[in-house]
Structure 1
Amino acid sequence: MPEHAQSLMSFMNTSESLLVHLRRAEHLKTSVLSCPFIDLSSRQLCDLELLLNRAFYPLEGYLCQEDYESVLANMRLADGMLWPMPVTLDVPRCLAERCEPGTVVGLRDQEGFLLAILHVESVWRPDKRQEALQVFGTDDPAKHPAVRYLYDRVDEWYLGGRVEGLHLPMHYDFPSLWMTPSMAHQQFAQRGWRRVVGFQADTCLHCAHKEMILRASREVGASIFLHPLVGGFQTGKLDPITQVRCYQAFAARFPDNMIALGILPLAARWAGPREALWRALIHKNYGCSHVMLSDCMADPGADGDQALYPRWAGYDLVARHHEEIGIQPVRLKPMVYVENRAQYIPADEVREDMDIREISSQELQRRLEWGLDVPEWFSFPEVVQELRYAFPPRHKQGFTIFLTGFSGAGKSTLAKVLRKKFLEMRDRPVTLLDGDIVRRNLSSELDFSREHREINVRRIGFVASEITKNGGIAICAPIAPFEDSRQYNRELISRYGGYIEVYLSTPLEVCESRDRKGLYAKARKGMITGVTGIDDPYQPPVDPELTVDTSAVSPAEGAQMVLLFLEEQGYIK
């Protein structure tokens, strides 16, 4: 089939979005008033948008159980069509119990705006371990961040069924870049592009990437569609606005008639070969004839030299199915900078007499956070300027001090001393989030069950993340007895600035002898229950930045230990 005929067929398949006519939309809005509603998470919003605009063609909604099990087993829908990734709607048990086949559910954004209607056809509780093994190749959350996300953040029940869309999610930033598949097809046609090679970026792009992309596009004689992922679960901590501004600066380094830039609201799963095939299908739906694939495509461990999947496994999988899906893979070969030649060459062409220069992503972030130089051979000045805005020097970043330990360990006292010390510096706003204060003002309705304690600690983490994001200092002083909630806060807050966990390891007998609140005495007499250390467990931190035993040091000495650590790490001068 000629290329233009294939492109036209693809356009006809994907141009029919799942958005209904205005009259149908008005009818649906009134007919679902008494039905259950779901306020979608950011990841779920990404999935819904790509269902509605047909980037997930041939799906017409969330996978039902039969399709889901078929996708896990052989990367195909129940009707045999190739589709490697389960796209399901996860819901809590309380909602699943209200749904059965035939139920209509309203799907809303996080502000409660109705976006779509789900006609439920299937309700089931999946085996998450089996899903992890088949999609990610491991069921160990310590090895794969997406497995941990699946276990900790994805609800226990799935809904499947056909979707009718009322509106696409609204985007107020970079409005011209949020391209649907039909918009991409139209732009390619207007530019006269028949051969288009797509590149889905999920990290910041630098000089080596330009050389890689140019070489790959010349190899197949195609124009370039730069299609960065923005949204959902990511492994990095670069905010979406900075990401897109970096991509704009990067794309400006190419001739206008060679490259197009469009944002893809895809929640990456980091599933290695399966994800490479999934992204190739999405590229095809956007009108690309070719897709660039790296040697470590969608591998969350590759950047740290702990790859989870074989090199080029994603390319090989797409190559095996390229005729069926109608898109050709192109190898994106690694490039290295040769100092004595002042140019980039393919890594497999390096000789022993060549002087190679490299900067890892970790080293780049270190240079940004310490205000060090980033050489122009590595990255374009315009890109570095945007990154410096997102990663200011540490002494200008916000940070969180998270104190944890038994009641009576000295958390509140140490927190008060630190607050005074930080206020004396007068360079950042300081907020104290003491456990008792938060309990009274943010969590007064919660009890002391494990579930409610975790909720309370995560609320503290959310507030601290907002303070950190805006350049302030948050001092948190809850008991926080469970490692899961502390780790959740670490991951959340570290996206925006520093996170320093301080474990007050003061022995229980010392804490009990202090007992200012009388908690331990009441617990020993059986007057109250749920007291950490008596009838409730405390899990010591696995790897805290600092450990302070207040039975051996004074509050002033403990504060000095924290201040010295902050100075060594560059957070204070």
Structure 2
Amino acid sequence: MANTPHGGVLKDLHQRDASIQEELKAKAETLPHITLTERQLCDLELILNGAFSPLEGFLGKKDYESVVETLRLADGTLWTIPIYLDVSSQKIAEVGIRPGAQITLRDPRNDQALAILTVSDTYQPDKEREAIKVYGANDKAHPSVSYLWDHTQDFYVGGSVQAVSEPQHYDYVADRRSPAELRAHFKKLNWTRVVAFQTRNPMHRAHRELTVRAARSRHANVLIQPVVGLTKPGDIDHFTRVRVYKAIMPKYPNGMAMLSLLPLAMRMGGPREAVWHAIIRKNFGASHFIVGRDHAGPGKNSQGEDFYGPYEAQDLVLSFTSELDIEVVPFQMLTYLPDTDEYQPVNEVPEGVKTLNISGTELRRRLKTGAPIPEWFSYPEVVRILREANPPRHKQGFTIFLTGLHASGKEAIARALQVSLNQEGGRSVTLLLGETIRHELSSELGFTKRERDINVGRIGFVSGELTRAGGACIAAPIAPYEEARNKAKETISKWGGFYLVHVATSLEQCIKNDRTGVYAKAQAGEIKGFTGIDDVYEEPKNPDLRVDPTQTPISQIVHEIVLLLERDGYIGER
């Protein structure tokens, strides 16, 4: 059963009398509310504007189970990805979520009331079954399975939504169009055949060639519709990608192509996701949809194998051709032929002909190291944008995280390292000593495990921001717990280098070094929970460097840290 695109729940909002709209807004302010997550916000926006037609709300149990099992809603309509509002049992009790109840859904960015949900039912899903049926395996290497177990709440809420206001965007506003707006725009341009291209990555010459080939083969115009909602963790941010798309649009013949952004939360669901994307593009008015090799694939599973076969997505979409009401344009990966200076599908290249390609991993390596990126691969305008967003190592920030017992000598190492890095130049250098952080940032915290973890988390946050800004940060807390140190590493490593240095001075030597008498007070029981005395210090299992200033001069320790930075390209020749 095929669905017909509707104007979305926002259609009613746009057609309402102003007084009725004000009454609805006033009502929304009196109702109990749920503040949406980022994924829920993306889903709600596409429900409201009709991109998720025929959905007019979040799936109830009957529809959810049908989609999970059969790739269809309960009435038989093709729909492949379950769209639900997940909540905790505590939230259900707190808000009073029950069949018939009305709940205001609020934007997490500005607390704006977006919609009123009329609850149809609440239910507890079988997450393992959802993972296996929807994503093919209960394997946390899949980003959506990981999200399902680590971030999705235990109960789902179904129900229809009534629009109160449209989500507000402050970036690329002119490039955001609802399905109704885009269909009207196609009509204004007299575009009767439109081939849509889905992407969550920057576009290069091969992508431009692929889309032009698709348009040429179908006598169509091109809609570049990149995802600017949630994508795969680690993907390039959408601000950088949109700058790339805007740079590449003039490379198309005038009037051939246009750009429109899609605030979709991808699931990286491979075959099911490809069908879902086709339905969404039909709702936006496209007549054709490109499905490439490994469409919406999440990469490798826990066994190091691809989650989906390279053409599983194409096969599944093609099997629903009669229902989709949009023509699928399957495409092979393109490769560059240097001898003829052209791109060709890999399956059309004669045996023995020389080909060139640059993988995503290799591209990231070249960006990080500053290695050249050839013009046959990408346009200079695109490379410039990517280099601005992904500076080479010598322009990136880093954090040196020294951990060790009180009076281990880590503060002296940190100060000496600060002097050395200031002498090197090229970056601002910030020193975060344990006592300074305790006084300036964590003065209200005590020394329980939870409070120590909060303190290290704050250090990780500040260090991450300094690293992101391209600075050098030297942090020297005690940081006694391995889990908290690992979380700090995860926070900082997103933005630049992270080096864990264990200052492994023995407890006996630390006690000798102590000029404040705190160890003596701890041994006498005057101070409780003191690290090394009556509280544990978990030695790092895999530090980047382990040093002992009682055995090695501080100048040599600083030199060894500098050598680590030079080895990885953060300092040295520029």
Question: So what's the TM-score if we normalise by structure 2?
Answer: 0.87
Q: Are the counterparts in 2 of residues 120 and 159 from structure 1 also a CA contact under 8 Å?
A: yes
Q: Which residue of 2 aligns with 1:144?
A: 142
Q: Residue 532 of structure 1 contacts residue 538 of structure 1 at CA under 8 Å; is this kept in 2?
A: no
Q: Are the structure 2 counterparts of residues 500 and 166 from structure 1 closer, same or farther at C-alpha, using a change threshold of 3 Å?
A: same
Which residue number corresponds to residue 528 of structure 1?
528
Q: Within 2, Cα distance between the matches of 1:533 and 1:234?
A: 44
List per-residue Cα deviations over 1:70-99 (Å, max 9, x = no partner): 332332333333222222233455423213
The answer as to 2:84 corresponding to 1:88 is yes
Q: Tell me: CA distance 1:447–1:359, structure 2 relative to 1, closer, same or farther (3 Å).
A: same
Cα distance in 1 for residues equivalent to 2:160 and 2:86: 15
Could you tell me whether the CA contact under 8 Å between 1:198 and 1:227 is conserved in 2? Answer: yes
Instruction: Tell me the SS of whatever aligns to 2:79.
Output: coil
Alignment pair present for 1:558 and 2:557? yes
Please, which moves more after superposition, 167-176 or 431-440?
A: 431-440
| 1:431 and 2:427 aligned | no
Match of 1:64 in 2: 60
CA-atom RMSD in angstroms: 3.4
Aligned partner of 2:364 in structure 1 is 365
The separation in 1 between residues aligned to 2:317 and 2:343, in whole angstroms, is 27
Greater displacement, 374-383 / 120-129: 120-129
2-side partners of 1:36 and 1:481: how far apart?
42
Letter aligned with residue 204 of structure 1:
P
What are the superposed Cα offsets for residues 268-289 of structure 1, whole Å, 9 maximum, x if unpaired? 1212212112211111111112
Pair 96,464 (structure 1): closer, same or farther in 2 beyond 3 Å: farther
Q: Return 332-341 or 533-542, whichever deviates more.
A: 533-542
Residue aligning to 2:158: 160
Counterpart in the other structure of 2:566: 567
Residue 179 of structure 1: aligned partner = 177
CA contact (8 A) 1:434 1:478 kept: yes
Counterpart amino acid of 2:354? D
Query: Structure 1's 326 and 435: CA in aligned 2 closer, same or farther, altered over 3 A?
Result: farther
Describe how 1:178-327 pairs up with structure 2 within 5 A: 178-301=176-299, 306-327=305-326
Deviation larger for 509-518 or 221-230: 509-518
**Contact 1:406–1:511 (CA under 8 A) maintained in structure 2:** no
Q: Which moved more, 1:408-417 or 1:227-236?
A: 408-417
Distance 2:80 2:369 in 1: 42
Larger radius of gyration: 2
Secondary structure of the equivalent of 2:294? coil
User: How many corresponding residue pairs?
Assistant: 564
Is the partner of 2:475 in helix, strand or coil?
Answer: strand
Matched, 1:54 2:50: yes
Q: Quickly say closer, same or farther: Cα 1:352–1:287, change in 2 above 3 A.
A: same
Alpha-carbon distance in 2 for matches of 1:486, 1:80? 51
Q: Is the 8 A contact 1:406 1:532 kept in 2?
A: yes
Distance apart, 1:58 and its partner CA: 1.8
Gaps of 5+ in 1: 1-5
- How far the C-alpha of 1:389 sits from its partner, in A, is 1.2
1:29 matches 2:28: no
Which region of structure 1 is more displaced relative to structure 2, 187-196 or 348-357? 348-357
CA distance in 2 between counterparts of 1:454 and 1:69 reads 41
Q: Where does 1:94-173 land on structure 2 (aligned, <5 Å)? A: 94-99=90-95, 100-101=97-98, 102-141=101-140, 143-173=141-171
CA-CA distance at 1:352 after TM superposition: 4.0
Cα deviation for residue 51 of structure 1 reads 1.9
Of residues 205-214 and 20-29 in structure 1, the stretch that sits farther from structure 2 once superposed is 20-29
Q: CA deviation at 1:121?
A: 3.5
Query: Is the partner of 2:500 in helix, strand or coil?
Result: strand
Give how far 1:258 is off.
1.5
Distance 1:282 1:225 in 2: 13
The CA distance in 2 between the partners of 1:485 and 1:81, in whole Å, is 48
Q: Is the 2:6–2:50 Cα contact (8 Å) retained in structure 1?
A: no
Instruction: Report the Cα distance in structure 2 between the residues aligned to 1:359 and 1:236, rounded to whole angstroms.
Output: 19
Q: Is the 8 A contact 1:515 1:521 kept in 2?
A: no
Q: Counterpart of 2:475 in structure 1: which amino acid? A: C
What secondary structure sits across from 1:226 in the alignment? strand
CA deviation after TM superposition for structure 1 residue 564, in Å? 1.1
How far the C-alpha of 1:444 sits from its partner, in A, is 4.8
Q: Can you give the 5+ residue segments of structure 2 that lack an aligned partner in the other structure?
A: none
Q: For 1:84, what is the secondary structure of its paired residue?
A: coil
User: Which residue is equivalent to 1:391?
Assistant: 390
Q: Deviations over 1:446-498 (max 9, x none)?
A: 566666555544443333332222222233344556666555554544443x1
1:38 CA drift (Å): 3.7
Residues of 2 paired with 1:283 and 1:175: CA distance? 20
Shift of residue 313, structure 1, vs aligned partner: 1.0
Q: Quote the Cα distance in structure 1 between the aligned partners of 2:464 and 2:308.
A: 33
Which residue matches 1:3?
Answer: none
Contact 1:179 1:263 in 2 (8 A): yes
Task: Give the Cα–Cα distance (whole angstroms) in 1 for the partners of residues 332 and 388 of structure 2.
Answer: 30
SS in 1 for 2:381: helix
Seen in structure 2, the aligned counterparts of structure 1 residues 523 and 275 have a Cα distance that, compared at 3 Å, is farther
Whole-angstrom distance in 1 between the partners of 2:336 and 2:520: 63
CA distance 1:34–1:192, change in 2 (3 Å): closer
Secondary structure of 2:114's counterpart equals strand
How far 1:423 moved relative to its partner? 2.9
Task: Tell me, in whole angstroms, the C-alpha distance in 2 between the residues paired with 1:125 and 1:457.
Answer: 36
Identical columns (%): 39
Find the aligned partners of 2:87 and 2:32 in 1 and give their Cα distance: 12
Q: Distance in 1 between matches of 2:33 and 2:119?
A: 12
* Bigger mean CA deviation after superposition, 11-20 or 524-533: 524-533
Q: 1:148 to 1:462 in 2, by over 3 A?
A: farther
- Flag the 1:254–1:511 CA change in 2: closer, same or farther, 3 A: farther
In structure 1, C-alpha distance between the alignment counterparts of 2:524 and 2:332, rounded to whole Å:
66
Shift of 1:182: 0.9
Following superposition, the deviation at residue 239 of structure 1 comes to 2.5
What is the SS of the residue equivalent to 1:72? helix
1:15–1:181 CA contact under 8 A, matched in 2? no
The farther-off stretch of 334-343 and 62-71 is 62-71
- Could you tell me which residue of structure 2 aligns to residue 73 of structure 1? 69
Structure 1 stretch displaced more, 453-462 or 286-295 = 453-462
Distance in 2 separating the partners of 1:174 and 1:484: 39
Partner Cα separation in structure 2 for residue 532 and residue 105 of structure 1: 51
Go from structure 1 to structure 2 and tell me whether the alpha carbon gap of 1:374 and 1:431 turns closer, same or farther (over 3 Å shift).
same
| Aligned counterparts of 2:457 and 2:53: Cα–Cα separation in 1 | 37
Q: Structure 2: which amino acid aligns with 1:528?
A: K
Task: Give the drift of 1:418.
Answer: 2.7
User: 2: distance between equivalents of 1:154 and 1:457?
Assistant: 26
> 2:200, 2:231 within 8 Å by CA — same for their partners in 1?
no
Offset at 1:248? 1.2
Amino acid across the alignment from 2:337: V
2:41 matches 1:42: no
Paired with 1:95 and 1:128, the residues of 2 have a C-alpha distance of: 19
